[in-house]
Amino acid sequence: MARRCLSIILAAGEGTRMRSSKSKVLHEVAGLAMIRHVVRAAREAGSDAIALVVGRDGTSVAEAARREIGTVAAFEQTERLGTGHAVLAARAAMAEGFDDVLVLFGDTPLIGVGTLARARATLAEGADVCVVGFRPADPTGYGRLIEAGGELLAIREEKDADADERRVGFCNAGVMAFRGDDALAMLDRIGNDNAKGEYYLTDLVAVARAAGRSVRAIEADANEVLGVNTREELAAVEALWQAARRRQVMLAGVTLQDPSSVFLSHDTVLEADVFVEPQVVFGPGVRVASGATIHAFSHMEGCDVGPGASVGPFARLRPGTELAQGAKVGNFCEVKNSEIGAGAKVNHLSYVGDTSVGAAANIGAGTITCNYDGALKHRTEIGAGSFIGSNSALVAPVRVGEGAYVGTGSVVTDDVPDGALAIARERQVTKPGRGREIIERNKAAKAARSATKD
């Protein structure tokens, strides 16, 4: 749109029902703070500027919002005198001059970009105020949107509604858009002649109607305007987000074998023909290329899985992990800040950290890269085509060359040249008959102990 837009996001609520030490808008949905979801929607709806009205934990809320858009302006609402008063806390931002002003809430993380765009389009078509409404399954307790002839006549709170008005199922969602050229003048006309002595943004409808202005309403899906006030509601919103995103990825060509058990993050990227088994968690920052398989009970975060690669079951990929084409990280393995080359295998019960593993290398079961000395992290390099025997420990910094072979059970502290064999363990000693003697001695001791107990 050519029209300039300001989004004012109200995030000053105390959120006491969350029973939390931090602001409720900092609680996460799909790995992203709720306030960032709302800021993202405002930006994608074409907002030129964003004003954040904060209260409790305001510095942290503003910092979170700025991680989404660095230019967010924060305004503190020092007194809690209603939503109309909260919007006017951003008076300085409105005074800069905008065609459209959107008012959003920091605890409605599912708000859709399409809904905000329609609200702005309604202003562009000639409305002075646009109220976003929805149709809940049970409208009890919500303000009703009273319409006639395509105009919104009033927002009637339930306690003030008559019997006919209570039967109206179209309810106020709280989100609003209004023209910016005289927004301040209109907002300043909102009074506080009510039981609580507060200034309610919903009264803008009556103010606008009294001034002969056009007020209209648009309808949003009930799910996208859900607010979060409790941990239970946070879980419900998370479930809605997950269900919608799972459907999107499946329609895009991803197989989720048991969709309800797979958890995605706000930025998870799964390309077509990825196959995901049950009970998989994708933390933030995961990208999985086409043809890869993520086996059951795997947990991934901050990693890049290449085409045709295989992960799990019961694998953990931590930040900085990159799997090249056809690489494999198998069961009960953990990989962190490492590159696993094309066709390389980390199959069983291994930890690979701060390591480069060359193409077609094989890491045997129980191998550990010892990357931490108690103060600093160090790198391990494992060359292409090398073989690391089971139960080996590679003490970083160390390099195992291309085509090298490390014997089972070795503790490698020195570099291994290309093509070399490294055996770093005590030589086996065999004593004939001694094993039988030890077994018999132990059995006798056990029998004697049992006799003593009897």
Q: What positions carry a catalytic annotation?
A: 348
Residue 432: cis peptide before it, omega within 30 degrees of 0: no
Which positions ≥6 away from 116 have C-beta within 8 Å? Answer: 41, 42, 45, 102, 104, 175, 177
Write the DSSP string, 141-208. Answer: TSPEEEEETTEEEEEE-GGG--HHHHT---EEEEEEEEESTTHHHHHTT----STT----TTHHHHHH
Residue 417: cis peptide before it, omega within 30 degrees of 0: no
Q: Which residues of 267-283 are buried (b: 16+ CB within 10 A; e: fewer)?
A: ebebbeebbbbebbbbb
Fill in the DSSP letter of residue 428.
P
Of 244, 235, 307, 312, residue with least CA distance to 279 = 312
Six token digits for residue 365: 């079961």
Any idea of the CA torsion for 213, 219, 222, 225, to the nearest 10 degrees?
A: -40
Write the DSSP string, 76-100. Answer: E--S---HHHHHHTTHHHHTT--SE
Q: Which residues of 399-412 are buried (b: 16+ CB within 10 A; e: fewer)?
A: bbbbbbbbbebbeb
Any idea of the CA torsion for 165, 168, 170, 176, to the nearest 10 degrees?
A: 0
Write the DSSP string, 325-382. Answer: TT-EEEET-EEES-EE-TT-EEEES-EEESEEE-TT-EE-TT-EEE-B-SS-B--EEE
Are 70 and 30 in contact by the 8 Å Cβ rule? The answer is no
